[in-house]
Amino acid sequence: DADVTQTPRNRITKTGKRIMLECSQTKGHDRMYWYRQDPGLGLRLIYYSFDVKDINKGEISDGYSVSRQAQAKFSLSLESAIPNQTALYFCATSSTSGADDTQYFGPGTRLTVL
Amino acid sequence: GESVGLHLPTLSVQEGDNSIINCAYSNSASDYFIWYKQESGKGPQFIIDIRSNMDKRQGQRVTVLLNKTVKHLSLQIAATQPGDSAVYFCAENRSGGSNYKLTFGKGTLLTVNP
């Protein structure tokens, strides 16, 4: 969905490096989410944010941090990357206004930690 | 373990046939269910949803059935086409209200043979 963009799309890094994944949206949604996807598994929630001042941990937040710089931007950081953080990372957005509160996903970032 | 799971990890059908993808959930408090389609290299895409006060909901070529008695959800795709080939995820919402905290199943890979 072009309304939700993620950068970079692919990243290879080394153990111990700090990595930031960025997400931007033009949908005007107030809620944003970060998920990771591992082969054979469903998406698991890392962090979610209801607005700029409201950030919450998901089920697998250890080793990750986030920043909601603006309503349209939500970044995910790995302070010291480790190999088991190799995964596909997806950003999603949703709205609390109107009848449509569906989560819309970005195209994903493939992260490899060597 | 995950409360949202799938009976069949893979499904192969002939073009033109109907497809049925199943999903089980274990949380009686879940009140909102969603099916997503994920094509290779892309993020999950919303297909159809259903709330717990309904048993059936139809979209374009897709139907979702909810059986709360046995905690079972299914996605039916009519006249399956090659473009339907993807991984399909069910997700449940346990937040008891607005759709913000989804739990995803592991996914079913649907392959459509021409």
Mean pLDDT of B16-42: 91
Residue B106 has pLDDT above 80, yes or no: yes
Q: Summarize the confidence of residues B36-41 as an average pLDDT.
A: 92
Residue of A nearest to B90 (CA): A42
Q: What is the pLDDT of residue B31?
A: 86
pLDDT at B97: 54
Model confidence over B1-25: pLDDT tens digits? 334 554 448 999 999 999 999 999 8
- Of B29-33, B39-43, B45-49, which has the strongest mean pLDDT? B45-49
Contact at CB, A42 and B4, closer than 8 angstroms: yes
B102: chain A residues, CB-CB within 8 Å:
43, 45, 103
Q: Do B49 and A45 touch (CB under 8 A)?
A: no
Per residue of chain A (114 residues), give pLDDT as tens. 469 999 999 999 999 999 999 999 999 999 999 999 987 778 999 999 998 999 999 989 999 999 999 999 999 999 999 999 999 999 999 987 766 778 999 999 999 999
Average confidence (pLDDT) over B51-63: 94
Report the C-alpha gap between B6 and A102 in whole angstroms: 22
The reply to whether B46 touches chain A by the CB within 8 Å rule is yes
CA of A107: which chain B residue's CA is closest? B43
- Residues of B with Cβ-Cβ distance to A101 under 8 angstroms: 98-100
Q: Which chain B residues are Cβ-neighbours of A48 within 8 angstroms?
A: 100-101
Beta strand pairing status for B72-77 and B62-67?
Answer: antiparallel
Residue B103 confidence (pLDDT) above 90: no
Cα-based distances in Å from B66 to A62, B21, B23, B35, B54: 35, 12, 10, 12, 7
CA–CA min distance B73, chain A (Å)? 16
Q: Do A42 and B100 touch (CB under 8 A)?
A: no
Sheet containing B19-25: order of strands: B4-5, B19-25, B72-77, B62-67, B56-58
Tokens of A28: 């005007």
